[in-house]
A = this chain, B = another copy of it.
Amino acid sequence: MITSTTGPQPADFTDVRATNLAVVLRFVRENAPCSRADIAASTGLNKATVSSLVADLIDRRLVRETGLTENRVGRPATMLVLDGSPYAAAGIEVNVDYLTAVAVDLSGRRLLSWRRSFQGPAATPAQAVAEVARLARRAVARMVKEERQVLGLAVAVPGLVGVDGRVRLAPNLGWRDVDLAGDLAKALRDPGFPVQVDNDANLGALAEHRFGPFGGIGNLVYLTGEVGVGAGVILDGRLRRGGQGYSGEFGHIQIDPGGPECRCGRVGCLEAVAGIGAVVGRDAQGAPVSPAEVEPELDEVVRRARAGDRATLGMLAGVGGNLGRGVAVIANLLNPEVVVLGGYYVPLAPWLLPAAEAEIRRRTIAPEAGGCRLVASTLGYGAAALGGAARVLDSVDSGRLPHRG
């Protein structure tokens, strides 16, 4: 999963063909409809090579010809578009109070998008595996019914996921050392496609990078705004997981040494001063609001903010400022082009962003925050599940092309 190479890898001619198939497929995905001549002109591959590669991709039903021709001087060209109709990529998001399942085709078109309530903290890991497997089986059955081959499934978990895919620690689910990928593959009885597990923020970042309005951007950080706050770090176009896979633990960097205690036992963590718990506050007994009550409470906060309630606006400006202090750390250390706010941050963004942006500009040493923009996600709920599907598609893009089974 992690490549820690410091230089070029050996290549041979078989690699070259697989690589070039992936290059052409990616070009068609990004530029369709396009002609073989367009592909040759943009990739630098010669026309005969392109024709041979396209024939192979058509054979695998990854690309198809359309009746369209380009309106230009000379012989009209047959235009190519992505096909991929026999394939699906699947993602599932495990959250504290719900499961989300998504499947997309090669072009990213949603084939299904389901949400189920789920009693995360109440379930044992074994019960959770059974429930995730049930959802996965139904999603796969639907795809099979549509005569699609599932290329892979990636599952998002809010916690530390090792580079081996084991869930080392998911505090909000009460999990410790759970081999979710292995258990799930067993529960699905060797499903014939790879099952992977990843951190939810990592997969959210992949979703934004592939399906959000940030296609060409090399450096993007995605922040989950769920019960916890995690970061998915994309630098130079790739997810950066760190040595053991535990990068992105943004929620527990200290923002305010004089701040409130965090659920993790530390003081003044970003999650404690800028997480959803700082917005919806505590119940009448002073206990944190339970996950199931977050959404109705959030709706109420948005309603009050819209109505111009001064206390609410002041609270959101404070939370936004704390969030900005955290994002400034990212801007100083990593200098990304964009930081994307996901989850519960999205409906709050109109009130969080101004205070956050002011703090980022003030605290970043590079002029104009080094070009770092803070934006709200436009992908809607389930970004991490969508990111699971994106991870499956990434493996196609990097050359693991499906064979028609």
**Which stretch, A63-71, A75-83, A106-114, A361-369, touches the partner chain B?**
A361-369
Interface residue? A334 (CB, 8 A) = yes
Checking B12, B254, B333, B371 against A243 with a beta-carbon cut-off of 8 angstroms, the contacting residue is: B371
A352 to B127, CA, bound (A): 47
Assembly CA distance A241 to B219 (angstroms): 9
Are B16 and A13 interface neighbours, CB within 8 A? yes
The complex places the Cα of A330 from the Cα of B236 at a distance, in Å, of 18
- Whether a CB of chain B sits under 8 angstroms from the CB of A20 is yes
Q: Which residues of B contact A124 (CB under 8 A)?
A: none
Residues of B within 8 A of A236 (CB): 2-4, 238, 240
Judged by a CB distance under 8 angstroms, whether A258 is at the interface is: yes
- With both beta carbons as reference points, the residue of chain B lying nearest to A253 in the complex is identified as B329
Asked if B23 contacts A19 (CB within 8 A), the reply is no
Q: Name A8's contact: one of B243, B251, B258, B399 (CB within 8 Å).
A: B399
Q: Does A244 contact B (CB under 8 A)?
A: yes
Chain B residue at minimal CB-CB distance from A338: B243
Instruction: From A242, A247, A253, A371, name the one whose CB has the most chain B CB atoms within 10 angstroms.
Output: A242
Taking the closest CB of chain B, its distance from the CB of A165, in whole angstroms, is 16
A5, A264, A266, A329 pick with most chain B CB within 10 angstroms: A329
| B contact residues around A15 at 8 Å (CB) | 11
**Do A249 and B399 touch (CB < 8 A)?**
no
B12 touching A16, Cβ below 8 Å = yes
Q: Is the CB of B12 within 8 A of A335?
A: no
> Are A12 and B45 in contact, CB atoms less than 8 angstroms apart?
yes
Known contacts A219-B242, A247-B334, A335-B242, A10 near B5 by CB under 8 Å: no
Selected contact of A11 from candidates B6, B11, B245, CB within 8 Å? B11
Other 20 A-B pairs with CB < 8 A, given A4-B216, A8-B399, A243-B370: A5-B218, A6-B238, A7-B22, A7-B237, A8-B22, A10-B20, A10-B45, A11-B11, A169-B366, A231-B333, A236-B238, A243-B371, A244-B335, A246-B335, A249-B365, A250-B332, A250-B333, A251-B365, A257-B257, A264-B365
3 residue pairs, one from A and one from B, having the closest CB atoms: A242-B335, A4-B218, A243-B337
Q: List 21 A-B contacts (CB under 8 A).
A: A3-B236, A4-B217, A4-B219, A4-B237, A7-B237, A7-B397, A7-B398, A9-B23, A11-B16, A12-B16, A160-B366, A169-B366, A217-B243, A236-B238, A243-B335, A244-B335, A246-B370, A250-B332, A251-B365, A253-B329, A333-B333
